[in-house]
Copies of this chain bind each other. A is one copy, B any other.
Amino acid sequence: MDSSFDLSSWSQAHLARVESALSSLIPLSAPAGLAPSMRYAVLDGGKRLRPLLVLGAREAVAAGETSHAQEDHAESLDEAALRAACAVELIHAYSLVHDDMPCMDNDVLRRGKPTVHVQFGEALALLAGDTLQALAFEILTPLASELGATKTPAPALQARLCQLLARASGHAGMAGGQAIDLASVGLPLTETELRHMHRLKTGALLQASVRMGAACGQATTQALSALDRYGEAIGLAFQVVDDVLDVIADSATLGKTAGKDAAQDKPTYVSLMGLERSRQLAAELLAQALAALDDSGLAQTHALRALAHMVVDRSH
């Protein structure tokens, strides 16, 4: 890791922008309890890993934009990346709201707070989740009349961001992985099957975060392909570490119920290959992610590099 790069202050600066954007993009006055439940589900919580990956990838591909014309264009690209960061977080948040519901994981604690259905009732939790998903695509396609011409992302970029997000969150991504997860409780999975499930369930959206950030700029095919490998490695590493933490951390540290996987007899990397081999796999995936950045030919990858370390070294 680049010892001169301070992830903490980088994250702080970017998260301030993300939190502020989320707070202004999620309505304050949606009908009948919808606004409070949506805001509760998204604001003041979470590591915001996905938004940081979007902004880290945008930073990596933005390094070359120096001419005046490019600087003008940069404003709309920065806006697109910020909106992409928020949109991917809204998708993540909606998935947590629905996952926690009684008919799914039936969980009562999330980010140290009662889950949305506990706080607002099941009907509003269902609706809030649905609405957060729609909002993600709404903020990716702003009207020029709302945003002003210089800030409005090019329509082709808007379409591309919707394309990446929809595919990563649907049947071939997050939701597909959820369905496998649901069907796998109590079943013995092979490592290949487990990897496939997690590639869809959490990997697709993490990888899409990197792709969406990279779409907000000009990058070579080589760079894009390297960023894809980075995103894939990070996505898998994230889940492996999640499984490890579920075993070794307590609920207070996690902010959610610990030891749930084993209690629910869910297949995990730890149950499949043991704690030590799981930790070793996480370290290998980190090395792959860093090697991909080396191959990218991009100069400004400090943030992505530090985020990869953070994913693997985190305690919650």
Contact with B along A123-138 (1 / 0, CB 8 A): 1101101110111011
Provide the residues of chain B in CB contact with A179, threshold 8 Å: 30-34, 124, 127
Give the contacting residue for A167; candidates B138, B156, B169, B175; CB below 8 A.
Answer: B138
Inter-subunit contact A126/B155 (CB<8 Å): no
Inter-subunit contact A98/B126 (CB<8 Å): yes
The answer, yes or no, to whether A54 is at the interface (CB within 8 Å) is: no
Inter-subunit contact A34/B176 (CB<8 Å): yes
The answer, yes or no, to whether A104 is at the interface (CB within 8 Å) is: yes
Provide the residues of chain B in CB contact with A170, threshold 8 Å: 131, 134-135, 138
Whole-angstrom distance from the CB of A119 to the nearest CB of chain B?
A: 14
Inter-subunit contact B172/A30 (CB<8 Å): yes
Provide the residues of chain B in CB contact with A167, threshold 8 Å: 138
Q: How many chain copies does the complex carry?
A: 2
Provide the residues of chain B in CB contact with A81, threshold 8 Å: none
Give the contacting residue for A162; candidates B31, B95, B159, B184; CB below 8 A.
Answer: B159
Q: How far is the CA of A232 from the CA of B177 in the complex (A)?
A: 39
Provide the residues of chain B in CB contact with A34, threshold 8 Å: 171, 175-176, 179
Inter-subunit contact A131/B175 (CB<8 Å): yes
Q: How far is the CA of A165 from the CA of B171 in the complex (A)?
A: 19
Inter-subunit contact B131/A171 (CB<8 Å): yes
Give the contacting residue for A104; candidates B126, B135, B182; CB below 8 A.
Answer: B126
Please name the residue on chain B nearest to A182 by beta carbon: B123
Provide the residues of chain B in CB contact with A31, threshold 8 Å: 171, 176-177, 179-180, 183, 200
Provide the residues of chain B in CB contact with A275, threshold 8 Å: none
Inter-subunit contact B104/A175 (CB<8 Å): no
Residues 87-131 of A contacting B (Cβ, < 8 Å): 94-95, 98, 101, 103-104, 121-124, 126-127, 129-131
Residues 147-173 of A contacting B (Cβ, < 8 Å): 155-156, 158-160, 162-163, 165-167, 169-173
Give the contacting residue for A134; candidates B122, B123, B175; CB below 8 A.
Answer: B175
Inter-subunit contact A35/B171 (CB<8 Å): yes
Please name the residue on chain B nearest to A139 by beta carbon: B166
Residues 205-238 of A contacting B (Cβ, < 8 Å): none
Inter-subunit contact B103/A122 (CB<8 Å): yes
The answer, yes or no, to whether A141 is at the interface (CB within 8 Å) is: yes
Please name the residue on chain B nearest to A169 by beta carbon: B134
Inter-subunit contact B127/A141 (CB<8 Å): no
Give the contacting residue for A176; candidates B30, B137, B178; CB below 8 A.
Answer: B30
Most buried by B among A38, A133, A143: A133
Q: How far is the CA of A75 from the CA of B104 in the complex (A)?
A: 43
Q: How far is the CA of A177 from the CA of B131 in the complex (A)?
A: 11
Inter-subunit contact B163/A138 (CB<8 Å): yes
Most buried by B among A35, A130, A162, A173: A130
Whole-angstrom distance from the CB of A82 to the nearest CB of chain B?
A: 17
The answer, yes or no, to whether A285 is at the interface (CB within 8 Å) is: no
The answer, yes or no, to whether A140 is at the interface (CB within 8 Å) is: yes
Residues 1-55 of A contacting B (Cβ, < 8 Å): 27, 30-35, 38
Inter-subunit contact B180/A166 (CB<8 Å): no
